[in-house]
Amino acid sequence: MATNGQPPGTTTVHVVTGNLTCAGTIVYLSADGSWQTALERARAFEREDEAKAELARVRVDEAEITEPYVFAAASRDGRVGPSSAREILRAAGPSTRLRRPD
Amino acid sequence: MYRYDDDDKRLVRERAEQFRGQVERRIAGEITEEEFKPLRLQNGLYLQLHAYMLRIAIPYGLFSSGQMRQLAHIARTWDRGYGHFTTRQNIQFNWSKLDEVPDILDALAEVEMHAIQTSGNCIRNITTDHLGGVARDELEDPRPWCELTRQWSTFHPEFAHLPRKFKIAFTATPGLDRAAIKLHDIGVRLVQSADGDPGFEIWVGGGMGRTPIIGACIREFLPRRHLLSYLEAILRVYNLNGRRDNIFRARIKILVSSLGIERFRELVEEEWAASREDAMEFRDDEIARMQSFFAPPAYPAAGSSDELLLSYRQAEDLEFARFARNNVVLHKQPGYSAVVLSLKSFDAPAGDLSDTQMDSIANLADRFGFGEIRATHNQDLVLPDVRTSDLPELWRELQTLDVATANAGRLTDLICCPGLDFCNLANARSLPLAQEIRQRFDDLDYLDDLGPLSLKISGCINACGHHHVGNIGILGIDKKGEEFYQLMLGGSADDDASLGRVLGPAFSRDVIVGAVDRVLQTYLGLRESDDETFIEAYRRVGEAPFRDALYGQVLYANHPPA
Ligand code: SF4
């Protein structure tokens, strides 16, 4: 799972993520303030401190979101993608064959 | 096996009911995650990488066909149709939804199961030899002692908030250890005194994780009626003196090694002398009552089947012969065998079983035994009471279920934690690596040529995959967001326990399996005879030839180790 050596034109952005409290599903904070399951729909913060300020705001609603945090992602041509092994797997799901995938 | 009495049933039902209320308040936002987290952990519920994960206790790895069917039902109804057997003889479901967990706990309570104390800083599931009660080489069945310890430790108020988690394991075979007791916070071995009195040898302060330590013997002989008072004295000394200021220094192994075993022993003996008068002491009738739950089933009379098993092991059907050699264990009851079901087939994730496999295995446990199944710390299953003459028929059934790979105790029967595919703490993936190793070395002749060999993989330093005690251990590490793997050699979890050593820099994902291959080639090249096992050869020659083979040549010119 190569994560470095990003292509030219790639910039680092910051994304707010967490798990929905009831379902446990991974979600990302979008531009309209809703939680979305697709990373591509996440709001890309150019500055980490902006993302952290937003993190402090969403933390208040713990009934909806659990253990939110900010991670660094890659942005290219307006598309946001993961740039660490952990976030690649969070976005794409387990890389092993499940006994019975959904 | 032990059956719940009315008090047990009420306790487990009440606990499920209590958790239902806690979940409702969490979802309603009436309690914060900080308040809820310790409550969910006490009920085995983690928030993992993708979803909640529920860990269910299988006390000392023993469960019934009915319980297996209920696990299948849970997998089908509330999860994604499969479960994962762990290195602590438990089972995990990876895709739980918080609001459905109370229903799962109710379903578990129906079959005398629960998830209590499968997480948190308390005494966890008691583990033991998966062949307890049927092993021909054991002194005595360890399971009654496991159950007595389980009952004592469940909801023990004094030990509900220990400095860190606490694991106890039992074994009962002289000179052999199938439960890795020296790698546990407390290890208990059933022994006899010089006069033939039954008792225990007690080990303390072993463990893996960030600081792997092989435990030390704290008492060579403890009369058996004192088991719980002595365990209580150890736990009390730990609870009072263990560090709570640093999570990485909080396990009992750190306390024992910082005080030294002599001083730790003194403290425990002082505490024991002061408290044992008032502590619980087993009466013989109570021991006998507990042993009666584990009395051997009513085996229909049969003569010895040793000759028959020998003939199976030399059968013309080479596949069956290999299965009989590798996956069938001699039983103490004449005419019977214990059979290892490998959960490490060619392309299945290690330790996983689908709901349909679970149902089918439950049926086989009834048809070819007395409805009992064991989970092993090696992430396999055992059918413990199979008539030896039924082995060919059982083997054909197991083949259709993809659990008949004849690799028990071989390289590809590896231990593997969930790693970065599921675990929130992971640095690197372990399941796909395990899969690649199984596929690359998918040659049973080659595996038999290699002989007994343990390979263990962890996705981070917490060592749930026991990498420190693998003959070959692999540890996933993170280098700037990329997965790398440290290779270590020379570990063993057996009676002659040893910790593996890292031989050099970590390998990237695309060369780590090649590095394992290089280690195997080196072993084959230097062993003195076909009978010299990997660990024997490693201990004889040391790490130098392996290090040279891995790092001394330009093996990885295109993919240099980091
Ligand atoms: S060893 Fe690390 S990655 Fe593997 S299950 Fe344990 S905590 Fe998770």
Query: What ipTM was assigned to the predicted interfaces of this complex?
Result: 0.91
Among B residues 416-435, those touching chain A with beta carbons less than 8 Å apart:
420-422, 426, 428-429, 431-432, 435
Counting atoms of ligand 1 from 1, which one is nearest the CA of B428? 3
Tokens representing B251? 């396990």
Rounded to a whole number of angstroms, the distance from the CA of A2 to the nearest CA of chain B is 7
Q: Which of A81, A97, A60 is nearest to B402 (CA)?
A: A97
For ligand 1, is residue B351 a contact (CB within 6 Å)?
no
* pLDDT band, residue A77 (cuts 50/70/90): confident
Nearest atom, ligand 1, residue B463 CA: 1
Contacts of B50 in chain A (CB under 8 A): 24-26, 90, 93-94
C-beta of B419 in contact with ligand 1 (< 6 A): yes
For residue B429, how far is its CA from the centre of ligand 1 (angstroms)? 9
Residues in chain B closer than 8 A to A26 (CB atoms): 49-50
Q: Is B470 in the pocket of ligand 1 (CB under 6 A)?
A: no
Q: How many CA atoms lie within 13 A of B196 on its CB side?
A: 0
Distance B248 CA to ligand 1 centre (A): 15
Output the six-digit token pair for B503. Answer: 């031989």
Sequential DSSP letters for B10-48: HHHHHHHHHHHHHHHHHHTTSS-HHHHHHHHHHTTEEE-
Which residues of chain B have a CB within 8 Å of the CB of A62? 29, 32-33
Q: In this predicted structure, what is the pLDDT of residue B553?
A: 60
Which residues in B lie closer than 8 A to residue A95 (C-beta atoms)?
Answer: 421, 429, 431-432
Q: A83 to chain B nearest CA, in Å? A: 7
Domain spanning B6-110, CATH architecture: Alpha-Beta Complex (3.90)
Q: Do domains B6-110 and B306-400 have the same CATH topology?
A: yes
Q: Please give the Cα distance from A64 to A43 (Å, whole number).
A: 18
* Ligand 1 binding pocket includes B92 (Cβ within 6 Å): no
Size (chain B), residues: 562
Task: Tell me B299's DSSP state.
Answer: P
Kindly report the backbone phi and psi dihedral angles of residue B423, in degrees, each rounded to the nearest multiple of 5, phi listed first.
-90, 135
Ligand 1 centroid–CA B484 distance in Å is 15
**With helix as H, strand as E and coil as C, how does chain A read?**
CCCCCCCCCCEEEEEEEEEECCCCCEEEEECCCCEECCHHHECCECCHHHHHHHHHHHHCCCCCEEEEEEEEEEEECCEEEECCHHHHHHHHCCCCCCCCCC
B21 Cβ contact partners less than 8 Å away, ≥ 6 residues apart: none
In a domain, A81, yes or no: no
Whether the CB of B464 sits within 6 Å of ligand 1? yes
Question: Distance from the CA of B96 to the center of ligand 1, in angstroms?
Answer: 19
d(CA B177, CA B194): 21
For a mutational test of ligand 1's pocket, the pick from B460, B469, B475, B486, i.e. the residue with the most ligand atoms closer than 8 A to its C-beta, is: B460
CATH of B306-400, one of 3.90.480.20, 3.40.50.800, 3.10.180.10, 3.50.50.60: 3.90.480.20
Asked whether the beta carbons of residue B482 and residue A61 sit closer than 8 angstroms, the reply is no
Rg (CA), chain B: 23
- The per-residue pLDDT for A98 is 66
Could you give the CA distance from residue B122 to residue B154 in angstroms, rounded to a whole number?
Answer: 9
Q: Please state the φ and ψ torsions of residue B245, each to the nearest 5 degrees.
A: -90, -10
Residue A28 tokens, joined: 């990302």
Domain presence at residue A76? no
Per the domain annotation, does A49 fall within a domain?
A: yes
Contact A3, A64 (CB under 8 A): no
Domain count, chain A: 1
Are B429 and A93 inside 8 Å of each other by CB?
no
- Range of the structural domain that residue A29 is part of: 11-70
Q: What is the bridge-based pairing of β-strands A11-20 and B372-375?
A: unpaired
Q: Is residue A87 part of a domain?
A: no
B55 strand-pairing partners: B92
Is the pLDDT score of A100 beyond 60? Answer: no
Domain ranges of chain B: 6-110, 142-292, 306-400, 415-551
Domain B415-551 in CATH: superfamily? Sulfite Reductase Hemoprotein, domain 1 (3.30.413.10)
Which one of B50, B431, B483 has the shortest CB-CB distance to A96? B431
Contacts of B249 (CB under 8 A, 6+ apart): B243
CB contact under 8 A, B47 and A19: yes
User: pLDDT > 90: what percent of chain A?
Assistant: 72
pLDDT by residue for chain B (562 residues), tens only, comes to: 999 999 999 999 999 999 999 999 999 999 999 999 999 999 999 999 999 999 999 999 999 999 999 999 999 999 999 999 999 999 999 999 999 999 999 999 999 999 999 999 999 999 999 999 999 999 999 999 999 999 999 999 999 999 999 999 999 999 999 999 999 999 999 999 999 999 999 999 999 999 999 999 999 999 999 999 999 999 999 999 999 999 999 999 999 999 999 999 999 999 999 998 887 788 899 999 999 999 999 999 889 999 999 999 999 999 999 999 999 999 999 999 999 999 998 878 899 999 999 999 999 999 999 999 999 999 999 999 999 999 999 999 999 999 999 999 999 999 999 999 999 999 999 999 999 999 999 999 999 999 999 999 999 999 999 999 999 999 999 998 889 999 999 999 999 999 999 999 999 999 999 999 999 999 999 999 999 999 999 999 999 999 999 998 645 544 455 5
Contact present, B287 and B144 (Cβ < 8 Å): yes
The shares of helix, strand and coil residues in chain B, as percent rounded to the nearest 5, are 40, 20, 40
Domain made up of B142-292: CATH architecture:
2-Layer Sandwich (3.30)
Scan residues 487-546 of B and list those with Cβ closer than 8 Å to A.
509
Q: What is the CA(B462)–ligand 1 centre distance, in A?
A: 6
Above 70 in pLDDT, residue A2? no
| Chain A touched by B452 (CB under 8 Å) | no
Residue nearest to atom 6 of ligand 1 (CA): B464
Separation of alpha carbons A80 and A61, rounded Å = 25
CB contact under 8 A, A102 and B421: no
Q: How close is the nearest chain A Cα to the Cα of B549, in Å?
A: 26
- Sequence-distant (6+) residues with CB within 8 A of A8 are none
Residue A101 pLDDT > 50: no
